[in-house]
Structure 1
């Protein structure tokens, strides 16, 4: 059985027993013993919920086993419930009493029973549905865990920070603070999450401790956590400002290295693209050489058979030249698209780096201009190669066609 299910069954049982809190702070039942009450008390006894059983008018406490059918309708029983050591979960009269008992370490599961009409279950797996004082109590506990995680030393009731100046916080606060909203906690957690990245991990505790020292150092040790909660929104604003001040000045050298490295990387990509395209451009003179040296006039044949053979060879060479022209046209088109992609990617990256560090805008602008200049050059080369490829294709076709003309046709 899950903790949630067991707690729900305990809640249902208590609501049926209809106990109330007495002046001593005990949760007690007082009523005439009936078969139904006897059955409910038996269930309570199974989970060690019964702490003390008495018969009204008797001074000595009884065991549950001493209750029997002969007492039905004749005896009034007074039962004190075991709110802390039963086998299911602790029971409290209010969220304030939970905070007094466990100020920063909530039990995984507990019941808040004010009366039969106000009984709530807290289960750690369902904290997102908590509201009101219970939600605020859980937020305070969450804040304490954050402080504990970033402290140099901690115990169940204190955390100690040693950076700059030794400062200790005790897990004590006024339960009236459970009425307060802690809207700044989400922002506080978000900033800490950003500082948890590998590049900021060492700075995170220092920024947090600096803010805590400046905010709480002159406050009495016993009041520090209480004051932090009282003015938490003000503290989170101060922490947020400190974080942004750190980010603005964060490792400009690292950022400079990043955009210089990216600049070199994209320059290499562009140069590789140009080099690859120029290497493949050797197909153009190759095709012209093939056409010029391997085609012969069909008139050179001594007879019809040789003339037909020369015509077939010429046709094959023409097909090869056209194939080279087509393949290189596709290569150029592909390289042009790759160049456009590189240009867009580089522009987007430099814009992000510029936003990250406005002070580097001038240098980034220079790099952007250099890349654009290089890309413009490559585009001009591509245009020239496209023209040469077309010229090669036309020349090869015309040259081959001329080989099929009768002797003396062009004279």
Structure 2
């Protein structure tokens, strides 16, 4: 967090945005002088009662922010919201200032960050790497130091994969902790707004402000407030056995994960090898099962009347749901219920799981050659989380042999958000 005045912080953010010079990063930006005026009002009122006083944030462009269009990275879908989303409004009331709206995989469909007609945001660490998605621009804006924090969304890992790709923290809250009012749905039963920041403590501070019950959101839950908790002296941490660890040929990722687990052990963790196959079975349901039909439902008028408006890969994925039946949906729901019962003992036996955020670093060239399979690979350790109503946080822990940061994702039961953040704080690089 900056110690500068709100006005100085705004000027610095716009200067950093110009210096980064990436037209694919933000899809819309507030007028600089208007933002300076807003910052001046906040400064004149003072920091009392404003826990996010004068801080700059970016908003993924599938979340409403007053004064800026919402596009979901689809020009034909664009609309002008009447008000900020529930979460954005809470952050603004706490003294934070919206810089602009960031690029994403169209309709939040993807983990790669390259499926947008507006271009691909440049990875904050290495221009050859994908930015990760679908919250690509939000993660890059934080990783590049343009804003203090940002909002993404997470259905299958979109609040964690981009964090790992850009070396920052990605907090995926318990479903219903943050309201979805004013968020364009992808899979509404699984979606949540997520938070990117450069430290766990800061992400937790933002989450504490953003969280709150919203009567207008049918999926909001009256949960306990978000509270960062201290790491216990001893932990039981579940990890996949060596034979089930997937890195898809990335030797640096494999070595980094082993080193990151040693770091966990140095902080009092007892590692417990667990069978991850039931979790992978849950993950396969997300895209191989009928949940993709929720994406079709969210875009139904547009995809049926103007399919040409969609990014080609996005159309292929969402359009494939048209033939799914209610029978298939119920069969998948029964299978998920069975898998929830089978996986529940996993989370009773340990304090949390610790998995690689990224099984492999992919380049832009990789995705040009294989756009769908490699996207699926990225979800190896993320896709099961929302289906099982789990909380998660991705945190940079160490360095890979190639000089890129490595990240662990800590995963726990619903409402374990503060406990996971406390562990993440202790092990963060």
TM above 0.5, yes or no, is no
The structure having more radius of gyration, on CA atoms, is 1
Larger relative CO (CA 8 A, sep 6+): 1 or 2?
2
Report the TM-score, using the length of structure 2 for normalisation.
Answer: 0.22
Q: Would you tell me which structure has more strand in proportion to its own residues?
A: 2
Report the TM-score, using the length of structure 1 for normalisation.
Answer: 0.22
